[in-house]
Structure 1
Amino acid sequence: MPIVNRIAEFAPDMKAWRRHLHMHPELGLECYGTAAFVVEQLRSFGVTEIHEGLAESGVVAVIEGQGEGPVTGLRADMDALPMTEETGLEYASTVPGKMHACGHDGHTSMLLGAAKYLAETRNFAGRAVLIFQPAEETIGGGRIMVEEGLMDRFGVEEVYAIHTDPFSKLGMLRTTPGPIMASVDDFEITVTGRGGHAAHPESCRDPIPCALAIGQALSALVSREVAALDQLVVSLTQVHAGSAMNVVPGTAYLAGTVRSLDPGVRAHAEERIAQIVAGQAASAGLTAELQYHKSYPPTVNHAAQAAFAAEVARGVATEVVDDLPPEMGSEDFSYMLEARPGAFLFLGQGEGPSVHHPEFDFNDEAAPYGASFFARLIETRHRLRP
């Protein structure tokens, strides 16, 4: 078995922790109950240096090894999603409208498993810095923790994280050097005309044709303005206008998301969306307001650290992929990778419902692989010298 034997022995503990967290999901920065549970477990493991209240409810635990050595950060996100669970499981969410649909309950349990092992064995030099982060799904708790001085305060030199993957087989670890996930920006467009009776459109300034023209032009950004290998996604996800069959509305609303892997492509998309909105509105004799919300940057692995993580993974995983094509989802671990060298990996949990699906559930059989990876990463990078 590739996983660490001692960690395999307390796999039932990780399952119990994870299912407790699954039943009690919390959103955004308000992961206070989750944080309290994490702190309680850490103290039971004998971890004595625990810092609370980073990014409102984040927790950082420092486990001292034997003597001087490196300082490595390991991160898990704790927050859930504003969704109604439809799994029907006996440990399903007890909080209406909230569920762990992205595996963060599993991430937290895996890092707790690694903490239990590292606190028990201390078979490493230096310090392991365990980061339990809120608000990955919303405003970027990772960004807030970095802005609050996380890396400097705890002397973190490198930082690593893993995310569950319901699209690959159990125990597989996948990563790549360079971009592994995309940036994310969102936009809202309000086109304003003059409403009136639909039987007399000549007396109105109809915003709907202009909104449709904007939507068509946005689709051409990807196919006609960006090289095929420079990945860009522009998805129009909301179109709202009108309230009755016989009324020309005064406004039309559009919204969507922009994903890219390259800062130059990202900037080009933002610039062109602004030009398209202004130009289409001007040609129709209307006004249009664009609100462009820049969010997480691309998640970019550092080459040396991605190679190191893949090498560690080969000792614990069922299979390792070290040249994973990047995907267009996003992650606020990107802020930590901007602050320090490190790597982000995906951990296979076996195929099942996608993350962000109301029937998603983290596979507890994956937890020993993730905890073993974290533990071996520390023991390898912080190897004790004879």
Structure 2
Amino acid sequence: MPVINRIAGFAEDMTAWRRHLHENPELGFDCFETAAFVEGKLREFGITEIHTGIAKTGVVALIRGQGDSENGPVIGLRADMDALPMPEETGLPYASKVEGKMHACGHDGHTAMLLGAAKYLNETKNFSGTVALIFQPAEEDGGGGGVMVDEGVMDRFGIDQVYGIHNAPGVPFGMMQTTPGPIMAAVDTFHINITGVGGHGAQPHVSKDPVVAAVGIVQAIQTISSRNHYALNDLVISVTQIHTGSAENVIPETAYINGTVRTFDKEVQKLVMQRMQEICDGMGPAYGVEAKLDYEVWYPATINDAAKTAFAADVAREVVGGENVQDDISREMGAEDFSYMLEARPGAYLFLGAGEGAAVHNTKYDFNDEISPIGASFFAKLVETAQPV
């Protein structure tokens, strides 16, 4: 089947909801107005079982289907709500009204799609059991998905399986992509603070130069990928910041190094942590400085359940056609905190092609509203197929 006719009928509503959210972006866990907007729409649809304040501003709404819904299966559908701390340069009439904040990843569209599915599912209730609509804050920074899991959403609402969608600029319009097993990488962050002895640039012999130490440590970090790990195990280590110094004739006292690590294999992750610590422990004394590593383990790898991925791909074929579904794409090194939900329950994460346009996390990005009926139809069809009457 193509896009559900009833959902296509309120496509303009989804566009209006999305553009309202786009104009009013909020960051991290502070999605207060966004959550209030979501709750208001859900109540407008006639949904009454709404739970707020989860992970500070997260919302979970339950729609009961037919039969013994209280004791039946529960399927979870998730949308993220937060924006990014960056300026918008689209020039659109509905561009962000909040300086330095922008919906540059399409979470406004993800929220609109799930609201569209909610409206349809509550009208028709052509399913058994229950659907749990999960509106999550802090995907970009803070791991709101993990916090919601830690606060018990899976057990509290009896969720058996869970699904999520992300829009994908550059992928042909309406194409849905996924893969069983790992689909997105784990992400870690490292900070290295170097402390030496500052002094005059003309007298380096009486200083302990953190700048030279920082350069040496960064070069050594690059050898982890090239010399310490098996080349066929995916690994990315990127040094993204080096901060030090204030003048051309002053040797500073401190330097700071920061970067990101992307892995799929926990043994590779452990190797990186071990080697970074060894590099800091060895290179600090070698340069006569202190090099202190702070390694932060963040989101785990996003790993799709094989059976649920095959099921989701079959549903996608019914919505967009078999020629528009790829169920064996290569995994990518981006990260996603939906990973925490997939650690807690089997499910699948999919990409929905948005056609040509600026990439996510770009100041000129805008969500393609024309894919909203597709995403909402996919969510709705998932529920009706997984839990038939």
Compute the displacement of 1:327 (Å).
0.8
Task: Give the Cα separation in 1 of the matches to 2:58 and 2:200.
Answer: 55
Specify the SS of the correspondent of 1:96.
Answer: coil
- Matched-pair contact (CA < 8 Å) for 1:77–1:107: yes
Letter in 2 for 1:216: Q
Compute the displacement of 1:151 (Å).
0.4
Task: Give the Cα separation in 2 of the matches to 1:325 and 1:369.
Answer: 23
Compute the displacement of 1:277 (Å).
1.2
Alignment of 1:365-376 (within 5 A): 365-376=370-381
Task: Give the Cα separation in 2 of the matches to 1:193 and 1:20.
Answer: 51
Q: Deviations over 1:39-76 (max 9, x none)?
A: 11111111121111111111111001101332100000
- Matched-pair contact (CA < 8 Å) for 1:166–1:350: yes
Alignment of 1:1-386 (within 5 A): 2-68=2-68, 69-317=72-320, 319-384=324-389
Specify the SS of the correspondent of 1:234.
Answer: strand
Compute the displacement of 1:2 (Å).
1.7
Compute the displacement of 1:317 (Å).
2.0
Task: Give the Cα separation in 2 of the matches to 1:144 and 1:221.
Answer: 32
Q: After TM superposition, where is structure 1 displaced by more than 2 Å over at least 4 residues in a row?
A: none
Q: Deviations over 1:254-310 (max 9, x none)?
A: 110111111111111111111111111121222111111111111111111111111
Q: Deviations over 1:222-258 (max 9, x none)?
A: 1221222211110000011211111111111111011
Letter in 2 for 1:182: A
Specify the SS of the correspondent of 1:99.
Answer: coil
Letter in 2 for 1:129: A
User: What count of residue pairs does the alignment treat as equivalent?
Assistant: 384
Q: Which has the higher mean CA deviation after the structures are superposed, 96-105 or 43-52?
A: 43-52
- Matched-pair contact (CA < 8 Å) for 1:71–1:158: yes
- Matched-pair contact (CA < 8 Å) for 1:161–1:345: yes
Task: Give the Cα separation in 1 of the matches to 2:355 and 2:184.
Answer: 21
Task: Give the Cα separation in 2 of the matches to 1:370 and 1:264.
Answer: 36
Letter in 1 for 2:173: L
Letter in 2 for 1:13: D
Letter in 1 for 2:88: E
Task: Give the Cα separation in 1 of the matches to 2:271 and 2:350.
Answer: 29
Letter in 2 for 1:361: D
Letter in 1 for 2:219: Q
Task: Give the Cα separation in 1 of the matches to 2:225 and 2:329.
Answer: 23
TM-score, normalisation: structure 1: 0.98
TM-score, normalisation: structure 2: 0.97
Give the percent of matched residue pairs that are identical in Structure 1 and Structure 2: 61
Which residues of structure 2 form unaligned runs of 5+? none
Task: Give the Cα separation in 2 of the matches to 1:153 and 1:180.
Answer: 27
Which residues of structure 1 form unaligned runs of 5+? none
Letter in 1 for 2:350: L
